[in-house]
Structure 1
Amino acid sequence: MNANIEQAHQSPSRPLEANEPVAKTEELPKLSAQEFRVYNSMAEHMNYFHEHFRQTWNLLYTAASSGARPAGMSIRAYLNTGEQFAHHLTVHHTIEERHIFPVLARKMPAFREELELLTQHTQIHEGLVKFEKYIEECKSGERELQMGEVKGIMDTFGTVLWTHLDQEVAQLGAENMRKFWTMNEMRQMPM
């Protein structure tokens, strides 16, 4: 569970006195349409890539679960799609870790190494390594493609991948970003 969520649900260290004021969360003013676009730009950009990963995952996983490739898709095309999926996701995470997350981590705890989003990258990568190795062995002829085996490998990292795709976009959403960044800072973000 996200550390911020855990903290929000912890009880105070001491009971409140009867007349003691309860801390109120500051209500932020409503964003204009333009402000929303600026603050939401990273979420939209990220979701564009994530949607591609979701669609490719669904194509690969549906075939692996049913035991049948999509109509008109050869074994070679299926393996190439799997290989491209793994490569593109690895490149995507590498760019995030080197260029995006360090900037965001300056003000946003969720993007710091010790927290959930980077831990998820590690877990996803472990599954991707197995997936890529299997695909490579099938492409080279060392192994025969077995859809049940593909499904089994995908099952090892599917839940964390889908959780990650959603959580990362949520962290980059306008209402969260405005808590940490000014409009000018948003315009200078690396995405």
Structure 2
Amino acid sequence: MSTAKDLFIIAMDPQPDRSVGQGDLSLALAGAELIDLLDARAAALDGDRIVPGEQPELHDELLAEAQTVLTRQPPYERVEDWLWRRGRDLSTAYQAALEEAGQLTRGRRGLLPFGTDRLELADTPARRQALGRREADEPVLAALASAVGIGGEDSVDEPRHDDEAVTTVLAIVNDAVMELEAVRQRRSIENAAFANVWRVP
């Protein structure tokens, strides 16, 4: 399993305090893919730009797809731009892939046969592996999870890792998630102001 799939599974695990937004998760999934590509030497960082590396055979379909869409001509793509481009609707792609693989199942909410379908994690080795990485507080997964509001807050402000390139990616993921939240808040304020205009007698 890839780091991105482990992250998606963790995000799907029932959270009593907070649900994870699809946009936040998509950005973090794109970051997780990039970290796995760095680990596989399929990419490297030059500052904050992604330089394509070797082209190893990747056995994860979505990770292999990520490898094929790397920008291969200079000037190479910035990590931030990669997150926004690759991250577009990425959580939906991971949901579909995990459903197809039997990692997610659809259960029914309520007793009636026409109750609303809901996605649930199947009890599989992949789920146990992902939750095991989370319980072990594996640094990369913990930092990505923290960026989208899962688990502790320790690694949100200053994500740290022994590998400088990984640290760079984690920090940029965190910045992108905060930027998305700022956009949400701005739109919420604008929408509220617009609604108030129509309430004026």
Range into which the TM-score falls when normalised by the shorter chain: under 0.3
Higher relative contact order (CA 8 A, sep 6+): 1
Whose strand fraction is larger, Structure 1's or Structure 2's?
2
Whose helix fraction is larger, Structure 1's or Structure 2's?
1
**Larger Rg computed on CA atoms:** 1
TM-score by length of structure 1 reads: 0.26
TM-score by length of structure 2 reads: 0.26
